[in-house]
Amino acid sequence: MIKKIGITFLILIFLAIFIPFASSLPDGLEKVIQNFGIEEEYTYWNGLLSGYLIEVVHNPMASTFISGTIGIFMVLISALFLDKSLRPKKV
């Protein structure tokens, strides 16, 4: 358990270190959309924290870091549920 908490902490440190260096250039797919100037259709779902930003946190890097932390914990919680669904039932 301590090992898992340690690794999670390391992932958060990794995120904090690299967020300031992350490129804001479009990725390959976004570049294709830009190049051919198409307009995306209306989207039905805009997410809870769209763009990895939290409205109330004004510092963009802190905002992205907090969003990332929430995402990481949500992934870990989902993995726990997955584990529960995979675990053989005790007879």
Partner 1 sequence: MHIPDGLIITNEPLSLFGSVGMWIISLAFLYWSWKKVKLTYSQSITALLGISSAFVFAAQMINFPVIFGTSGHLVGGTFLAMLLGPYAAILGMTIVLGMQAVIFADGGILAFGANVFTMAIIGGMSFFLIKLIMRKSRSKSRLATGVFLSSWISVVLGAITAGVIISPAFTGGMMITVPSMFIYYAIIGIGEGAITTILVSSIQKIQPKVIGGLTLLMERSI
Q: Is 62 in the site for partner 1 (CB under 8 A)?
A: no
Q: Is 59 in the site for partner 1 (CB under 8 A)?
A: no
CA torsion angle 39 42 44 49 (round to 10): 50
In the complex with partner 1, the residue whose CB is nearer, 4 or 58, is 4
User: What gap in Å lies between CA 53 and CA 46, rounded to an integer?
Assistant: 12
Instruction: Give CA 78 to chain center in angstroms.
Output: 13
Q: Is 28 in the site for partner 1 (CB under 8 A)?
A: yes
Identified binder of partner 1 from the candidate list 48, 58, 59, 91, rule CB under 8 A: 48
* Shortest Cβ 88–partner 1 spacing (Å): 6
With vertex at residue 22, the alpha carbon angle to CA 79 and CA 76, rounded to the nearest 5 degrees, is 10
CB 76 within 8 A of CB 8: yes
* Shortest Cβ 13–partner 1 spacing (Å): 10
Q: Is 90 in the site for partner 1 (CB under 8 A)?
A: no
